[in-house]
Structure 1
């Protein structure tokens, strides 16, 4: 049972909207038309995609092949070593990289076609190219706000000159191609595009590089494909396919370019350090060799090595070890001197220059990584950035650690050097008899060998460092260069058309829903039935179209006539239990306020009964505001009810006259307007008048005053067999219906039945619901559409 009730309620709710189906059809067709126009004039936006793999170099060249370890030993893979892919995404979306991209592609100058229906961007197909030589950003910003930063270029017939038209200001300027043109905000040069043969008009718009970069920075989307990988996908929506592809490719190029520069920074600093040391060692080596040469010349020595070969062989092992220690000591002291120099904390340390001790080399590599990371963050932040502060602290701590380690290394080397010298002294005692010249020669030779070994070592490291510069690879490996999908990103026809249908249905629905929500007037039978079911509804009267007659005629087959026939039929069931079965019936028509159509209902009800052959008299009992005279203007001066009640000399038959509407219909008008209508109607004479008329007529219809405004109807209600309470659709407020309900409950009115007047055809509950009477042709679509309004 509950399911049945829910189904009925749902059907009723649907009927409330389906009766306005022409509005839904019109709304849907209108939105579809707008959608088709939108699809026609809109420029499609296509999705351009590119993808790269960010190499993870934290593992010192993992995955690069068998030679990766050798490159790692040479320090070639010690560049950017961040393993945070979020940092790389942030760098790719940085304003700096996008500004470099815009400048490289000259994207701050846009070209648009003036000949097409839409001003489509031309990009590379432009007939002219504008080169911005100089730009005043402040002037350009002011010009951009007033749209003065755009102008059209048109060729001048029979001339090589071009004409610049500034649309907003109305100014024109003739210029020569390939020459400087001074504008208020920039200095430009206009050149012919060799790749375009058409020299048509073109619109040029110049913007600030930073503004364009900010726009594309927001438009480019970079997404991590998998959390466990470093594969990034770039997306950019643009109506110009080639432009979007160039932007993504250039952005990746700028990223790789900066990454390579970042990686080479360590190698460049190392090369600088090695060159400085080579200059010093080269000078010292020259001094030693010149001293050896002078010593030999002065002492006439030719083959002193052969003479002391035996002793040298005994001391060679100690000398070799002392040479290695001296080399290590020189390198360590050089690095300590470098660290103690002013400003050394902001630079990089030379890596892998032959210093023994894995811990010190690892600390130097870590120090360089921290400096690189700090410098890269500083490119987009200030020194007060918490991350920069933290990195500075780590760099300082590691610098102190490196200096401490090097100092300990120097101490260890010095201790070892002293031990070797003691051993050398012991051997020296064995060669005490060797001439002083031999000892001096050996000292000079030893210094020569040490300087020469150090010089060769530095040359080797310089070559290795040059190799690292040549072997630097891009950080972002391109998986797919930028390509554009063929399906437009927007607008999508299916989605647009589906949205148009939904909006076309939603707009009428919302309008009807809000109108119903805010409407406090009755519109249809259901509105009355929701308020009360204690009072029956005996009839619904249709709205009279403009120009149509509001009076029923004889043999009338209109919708109005059919509605009153249904009304009279329903009255027969209500009058079955009337008190005076042997006399005529007395029917009252009243309403809550004026203007609801009680007089209209009274006269047409009388006409309908008269057409059935019944004798009917229509009484105008609204003594304050009589309305029956509107339908019979010739009877305005006749005497009527008020005159009969005031003067006993008037005979009832003399005050009733024939109507011009029907021979069976008599009119008993209200007469003169009295000063005391309530006192007149309160007289028992009014009841006797009705009884007398009942004897002569089949129906006595009394057109009374509005019930809520005056008490006249309440005073005479006891004489009625049935009271027709007229309401008007779109006019009578719902809260006023409670007045009729209370009046019946309080006994002021009895046997009330509602009549709904002025009902739209679409709102008919029963009877002529479909807008045409039985036997008539079905109305046209346009007529049914108008009836739903």
Structure 2
């Protein structure tokens, strides 16, 4: 166990997780800011682009305004009663139940919106040229299109209107040009249009554009734009809103929609009242004739029998049979009404009409059937406004109506049977009185029958007159099921686009876009770019970092050289003292994952800094397959390790000066052998390392990449420490598993990483991180000052 006394070394060299790796596991805001700050120009450019895009969008986008309205709907469950409703409730006529949910559905129906579109001509849009773009106009145009007829197959058509003078104009579209007069009709293939001149506005553009779509398209568009909501379950108010680029048009749409809805609700009530009044009028004609006939029979009876007053004569009889007669009269009235309803229901001409509900005897089950039947009839007529009888929906309603009609007939039959049974029972009960009536003279008895018929017809006649007056009064007092609380009104400021939000989004986009780009770039990068890539992939400690060398020299670690790279090799030399424990540990093996990661460069400079410290160093070029070291140092490679291993050269013959330093020697690889691995297994190799350990203080071995061949593993048995090269921007991230596996399986001794070719600033940490900055900066300042003095002296 040992520790590094050099404050510039942030690594723990005891084989455990390095301190730097532990620090990298914590999010470092300073590091992130430094990385992002190195790309400040990208963020500045992104801010300029997104800010400009936001300004252009706000400058040329069409603002949309939100228009709102509020109505109160009659809801029996929530108490949303309308003014005057309590008076009508006393009549108990046409008492149709309503709820806010049902009324919302009616309000959003297609038929009502179609009426709005047709009345306001919303399928016609006017466009005029602006300074930058074309803008839509509404009601402030010098003319207007009013379609008298329009083809249902029309999808969309664009027209261009060119005013010729105050009386003439020219209309053109694709493959068609027509001339016409203002305030006149124009026959087009799409239909007949009336083009009206508006004298309040003058022509300020040479051309105007009109876009016409079908009614169905316009209805679908505005149904999707209008939203309706009930604020909560405790109230019966409905909030209506629409978003439109022209506030006046949005207000007109909502106001017209409410108007058409209220008008339709009143019309539904009036139609039920009209049907009831018509039925009563027909019955009055029949009952009047029957009553007149009975009265004529009584007149003829009195004249032929010379009867002046039968009241006193029949008083006792009438008083005795009064109770039974009254009950029998009520039952006969009900029977007459039921028979009339049966005739009405059996008449095929009334199949498409609503059933009068106010005349029926108050039977709850029958009233429920009548209410459902009338509701379906009204729904069928409303749907026929926008579809045909062949529509499956209409056929479905017809089937339901047919079933309900059968149920009504069945109910009427049952009701008639029960009434008839009651009449029979009353007639049997009055049998005892009939014996007494038989004693009455035949004339008086016959007169009594006439009087009874007269009373029945008169009672029915008065009942019908009363109901007709009630129906007429109810119709004249019919009110809509809703009233306006707030008419449609537009907001003062546009609903969208929101300027603050757009600029905020532009600011966020200005930060996110380059950040995402940098993140994606880092995510797609498969090579090592920063320290976190290394510490996150392997637990092997980093012993040193070698910066990027600006020049192309092979050896940068010279006696008087204080460049950053030279100082890093000196720091590496210091860190090696903590790995090589004792004077007997002197063999340093350098390997990497693949070729091109700088093993020869690091080996030569490591040997140089070790020689600068006064130690005797030998540099072994053991990359027998692709040797580079001897060539770059200018050493003759005709003889070397390969010739020594096969016995053609002595060890003393292949040890030559390296030219780096007087204490630094080199053994080159020699000619490339056909069997490099077998040469490393020879006994001569072991003998060579034994003799070199006796003669030299340090032995630096440059080997082949361990990720490609096994040469380095074969030499590992002679090494005391292994330096594994990782090159920034070259080594693949997946290859970092190799040193970890070698260390875990103990195939190579004391493995440590050296990060080579580190570019300062942008991507790797905070710079080199080895404490050379002060000296190097001072040297730079001195060098700059010297150059300035020399320039002044020359001038």
**Common fold, TM-score beyond 0.5?**
yes
Against the structure 1 CA distance between its residues 420 and 711, is the aligned structure 2 distance closer, same or farther, given a 3 Å change threshold? same
After TM superposition, give the deviation of residue 706 of structure 1 in Å. 1.2
Does 1:623 pair with 2:607?
no
Q: Is the 8 Å Cα contact of residues 590 and 726 (structure 1) preserved in structure 2?
A: yes
- What is the CA–CA distance in structure 1 between the aligned matches of 2:168 and 2:757, rounded to whole Å? 78
Counterpart of 2:67 in structure 1 is 48
Shift of 1:691: 7.8
Residue equivalent to 1:754: 753
SS in 1 for 2:706: coil
Q: Distance in 2 between matches of 1:59 and 1:599?
A: 91
Q: Is the 8 A contact 1:620 1:668 kept in 2?
A: yes
1:121 alignment partner, SS class? strand
Q: CA deviation at 1:726?
A: 0.4
CA apart distance, 1:470:
1.9
SS in 1 for 2:544: strand
2:601 alignment counterpart: 600
Q: 2:177 aligns with which of 154, 170, 173?
A: 173
How far apart are 1:476 and its partner, in Å?
A: 1.4
- Displacement of 1:333 after TM fit? 2.9
**Where does residue 384 of structure 1 map in the other structure?**
396
* Change in CA separation of 1:487 and 1:616 when aligned onto 2, cut-off 3 Å: farther
Aligned to 1:106: 121
> Which of 233, 254, 271 is the equivalent residue of 1:227?
233
For the pair 1:375 / 2:390, whether they are aligned, the reply is no
1:474 deviates by 0.9
Q: Aligned residue for 2:94?
A: 78
Whether the 8 Å contact between 1:345 and 1:396 is mirrored in structure 2 is no
CA shift for structure 1 position 676: 3.6
**1:656 and 1:667 in contact (8 A); partners too:** yes
Task: Map 1:325-364 to 2 at 5 A.
Answer: 333=336, 336-340=339-343, 341-343=346-348, 344=350, 347-350=353-356, 359=362
Kept in 1: contact 2:266–2:478 (CA 8 A): yes
- Show the 5 A alignment for 1:194-593: 194=199, 196-200=201-205, 201-280=207-286, 333=336, 336-340=339-343, 341-343=346-348, 344=350, 347-350=353-356, 359=362, 366=368, 368-378=370-380, 379-380=382-383, 381-384=393-396, 395-400=408-413, 403-404=416-417, 462-486=468-492, 488-497=494-503, 521-533=527-539, 535-542=540-547, 552=556, 559-575=564-580, 577-579=582-584, 587-593=588-594
| Post-superposition offset of 1:473 | 0.6
Deviation at 1:106, TM superposition (A): 1.9
- Displacement of 1:319 in angstroms is 9.8
Q: Distance in 2 between matches of 1:402 and 1:64?
A: 38
Shift of 1:209: 1.9
What is the rounded CA distance, in whole Å, between the counterparts of 1:213 and 1:597 in structure 2?
75
How far 1:709 moved relative to its partner?
A: 2.4
Are the aligned partners of 1:374 and 1:392 in contact in 2 as well (CA < 8 Å)? Answer: no
Residue 161 of structure 1, aligned match among 169, 187, 202: 169
Cα deviation 1:572-594 (Å, max 9, x = unaligned): 443462417xxxx6543221221
Matches of 2:333 and 2:21, distance apart in 1: 98
Work out whether residues 726 and 754 of structure 2, in 8 Å CA contact, stay in contact via their aligned partners in 1: yes
Distance in 1 between the 2:80 and 2:743 partners? 99
1:744–1:282 distance in 2 versus 1, CA, 3 Å: closer
Q: TM-score, normalised by structure 1?
A: 0.73
Contact 2:89 2:95 in 1 (8 A): no
1:137 corresponds to 2:149: no
Shift of 1:55: 1.5
CA contact (8 A) 1:724 1:753 kept: yes
Distance in structure 2 (CA, Å) of the matches to 1:73 and 1:375: 26
What CA distance in whole angstroms lies between the structure 2 residues aligned with 1:550 and 1:688?
A: 30
CA contact (8 A) 2:644 2:651 kept: yes
- Could you give the per-residue CA deviations for residues 9-41 of structure 1, whole angstroms, max 9, x where no partner exists? 773375775554249975673656655554444
Offset of residue 755 of structure 1: 0.5
What do the CA deviations read for 1:51-109 (whole angstroms, capped 9, x no partner)? 222224699997755x945x44545x515324x43322222222222222222222222
Instruction: Quote the Cα distance in structure 2 between the aligned partners of 1:445 and 1:402.
Output: 27
Distance 1:388 1:183, change over 3 A: same
In 1, distance between residues paired with 2:635 and 2:591?
22
1: CA distance, partners of 2:38 / 2:245: 37
Q: What residue in structure 2 maps to residue 726 of structure 1?
A: 725
For 1:194 and 1:772, how far apart are their aligned partners in 2?
87
Q: Secondary structure at the match of 1:47?
A: strand
2:235 and 2:665 map into 1 onto residues whose CA distance is 100
Structure 1 contact 721–751 (Cα < 8 Å) conserved:
yes
- Measured at CA, do residues 395 and 59 of structure 1 come closer, stay the same or move farther in structure 2, by a change above 3 Å? farther
Task: Report the TM-score when normalising by structure 2.
Answer: 0.73
Q: How many residues align?
A: 734
Counterpart of 1:11 (choices 7, 12, 26) is 26
Tell me the distance in 1 between the aligned counterparts of 2:721 and 2:494: 72
Contact 1:588-1:724 at 8 Å conserved across structures? yes
Q: Is the 8 A contact 1:78 1:365 kept in 2?
A: no
Q: CA RMSD in A?
A: 5.5
Equivalent residue number for residue 191 of structure 1:
196
**Aligned 8 A contact 1:332 1:409 in 2:** no
1: CA distance between counterparts of 2:22 and 2:708?
A: 42
- Do the aligned residues in 2 keep the contact of 1:248 with 1:482 (CA within 8 Å)? yes
Q: Shift of residue 523 of structure 1?
A: 4.1
In structure 2, what is the equivalent of residue 89 of structure 1? Answer: 104
| 8 Å Cα contact 1:559/1:773 also seen in 2 | yes
SS of match in other structure, 2:116: helix
Q: Distance in 2 between matches of 1:599 and 1:481?
A: 87
Query: Please, which moves more after superposition, 375-384 or 208-217?
Result: 375-384
> Quick one: distance in 2 between partners of 1:395 and 1:717?
106
Does the 8 A contact of 2:78 with 2:236 survive in 1?
A: no
Cα 1:93–1:507 change in 2 (3 A) is same
Q: Identify if the C-alpha distance between structure 1 residues 117 and 410 changes in structure 2 by more than 3 Å, giving closer, same or farther.
A: farther
